[in-house]
Structures are given as structure tokens and as C-alpha cells.
Structure 1
Amino acid sequence: MSKGNFWAGNPNPSFVALGGVTIAPATSAPAGNLALGAVEAVDDLLLQSDNGVIRVFPVWPTSRNAQFVNLREKGAFLVSSQLTGGQVTYVDIASQAGRPVALLNPWGNRAVTVTRVGAGTVAHTTPNGTISFPTQAGATYQIVPN
């Protein structure tokens, strides 16, 4: 299953920037099918979920900078994040359906702040290193380390 929706109905297509190289959305179906497989493989290096828990950069080498924008994840979420100098700088999650989100804390045991864009901080819990909070459909949330 592809996380990016490259030509059908996605007003904000995914892109992946890897060390100065941008993998852009495919623009035609025949070429798109080939490109889609390659992009999906890269997507899986950058974003995964397991048992409902989203993980950013789960198998990406921390020595390589990377950024992704609006990758689709299970639960009707669009996820964006950046890895610079071996550290995740932020995680943005746009909720399309208003479901609760669970994110494996990319900063280990560090405390985080969850902010609903345009509306202030959001209460969250961190059981077992997982950042959990409710969402509202159409809202975007930014998670950053304290």
C-alpha cells in the first residue's frame, strides 16, 4: 500500500527530500506505476506504523538528513517530518478523520509539546514511549521536543 497519493485527488502530493535530491510525485499513470514502487520503498524507510503506532524514520540511517511532507499513514493521517544532524526536528500530523493518534516518541524519553496549529497546546500522554492524543478532523498537530 502506498502512503503517497500521487495523481488522484490529493491536493498536497507527497515529496521526499533526501540529501538534496527530491523525489517528486509521478505525473502520469504508466511512468507513475514504476515510480510509485520506488517511492513506496523509500516511504517505508521514512514512515511506518505497527499496531496503530506511527514511527518516523524507523530504518533511515541517522547519518543521512531527510525530510518528507504529507505521507499518508493508516488512520487517515498525513505526516511530515525532518531529520537533520541525526535528530528529528519536528513531526506534523494532519488528521483527516479525527481519530486518536499514537506516535512512537522519536526523541526517546524526552518530554514533548503537542500543539494544534492555530489553537494552542494539546494534552497528551506518553505511555511506554508513545505520544498519544485525540485529534479533530481537518486539524494539524505539531510535535516537538522540549
Structure 2
Amino acid sequence: METKFQPFGTVEGLASMTLVNLPRGIIQARSDLELRPLWSTSSSRSKVDDSSEHNLLAIPVGIKQKYNVDAIVEKFLPENFTIILFHYDGNVDGWWDLDWSSKAIHIVAQNQTKWWFAKRFLHPDVVSIYDHIFLWDEDLGVENFHPRR
């Protein structure tokens, strides 16, 4: 009966068999949301610059708030923030005309909440390298806000 429900032996055995088939260097001890060149060596991809602060700004966004989001991002970029946009309306193409957009991380899932995105993509193992993490509302102004204060 056990083999009927567990045809690969044990769950642990299945996991180790699956991991053996992955390309070398794909499994890392830690991860983050920093963009790295695709064609760099695995050793350079795993190095994190510990000499400077790492900061993360995550914003659930819809295209209707594009100009407000632009003002928010422009406020955070000079302070060495990695930008991640969670597109809840499915519209990514409407953002490419902004200068910083190609340097941001874009994640798309229609009709989801900021907490849905945060729970799935801001896992503690991934965001642990960041000194400051902001999960910002797209309609919250930044006129009187300064990230370094």
C-alpha cells in the first residue's frame, strides 16, 4: 500500500533524485532580489557586496497610479534601493517608458493583493540581506518623506 501512495520510495528520496538532475550551480545557499547578468559565472552570481547597504522597495502597482509610482521610485533610487513592482492589473508594458523601469523587477499576477504578493515573493530567506524593506502603497505620497531619516 505504501508504494501505491509513494511510488518513488520516500519523499526525501524523491527530493534528492530531483535535485541531482538540476544544472550545476543552480542551487545556492542563499538568494536575494538583486539583478545579475545571466551569463556571469556562478561564483560571481553568488557574491553579495557586503560593503554597502542593501535596501528594498516593493510596491503593488496598477497603471492608473503610474505617475505617483514614478515619484515614489525616484525618491528611493538615489538611496540604493532595489525596486520590485507587483503588477496586480497585468499591465507591465505601460511602464517601459520610465527611465528606471528596465532596472526594476516586475512580477505580474492579475487581481491579487499586496499581501498576496508579499507572502509569496518577500520570503524571509530572500529578503534577509536587506537592511531596509519598504512595502509601499502606490497612492501614498512621498513629498515629505526621506528614506534616510
TM over 0.5: no
Larger radius of gyration: 2
Higher helix share: 2
TM-score (norm 1): 0.24
**Higher relative contact order (CA closer than 8 Å, sequence separation 6+):** 2
Higher strand share: 1
TM-score (norm 2): 0.24
